[in-house]
Chains A and B, each alone.
Chain A
Amino acid sequence: MRRDIFQAIADPTRRAIITLIALQAMTPNAIADHFNSTRQAVSKHLRILTECQLVKPQHQGREIYYSLEVEKLKEVDQWVNQFRELWETRYHQLDNVLATLKKQGQ
């Protein structure tokens, strides 16, 4: 099973969890209160998010608080940037093609 940032954000519940704990670190129970799914389902998502290194569990007394690893989210940005660069290169070439076509039409 692959574990990376893209798998982490591929599931809508996991995206909701990410949004939730982006504000503050939370315990699994507190997170589960925000969803209709079971505590077990939330735990499973937290486990996957942890394995994807997008969230980090921290023990405080008997409780475990999950917090967001914001740096890891930047990988999504990097990925999107590469896509944007591809289209920018492509479009720069299209500018040249259009300039040539305009000259030919004159």
Chain B
Amino acid sequence: MLTAIEIEKITHELQQVPVKKAACIEALKIVQQQRRWISDESVEDIAAMLEMSTAEVDSVATFYNLIFRRPVGRHIILLCDSISCYVMGFTALRQQLQSLLHINYGQTTTDERFTLLPNACLGTCDHAPALMIDEDLYRDVKPEDLEKILEKYS
């Protein structure tokens, strides 16, 4: 069931577009903002509201890197794994993150605090290697900085 807030926000989006389907990505964003991820049930609810088939909504939901179709933690770590960060040593960051959090790419810590994901170029290649946690960008990161950075997120 979509919440009243979700319905209100999606209705607002529907007013901005000429056909209902065009609000699909926005609707997914809205629901994900409220629940952190998109469950099968959410896909069905959005489909019903936008008069689309669930398969159609799912095909959009699974296409985009930042729509999560599985549960994620409270904080998302996006580690840049693209070329400038490769040259400048993101591998060491990945190893350090994996050993601090005891998780691999795509996994969530048992306390649901963090999910670790690789991410394409964050557009800050002159300050590589870089990573993002939720809305915060960290640049020129060294493995030894990571412990302090992670402490900021509860």
A is bound by B? no
Contacts from A to B (Cβ < 8 Å): none
By a beta-carbon cutoff of 8 Å, the part of chain B in contact with chain A is none
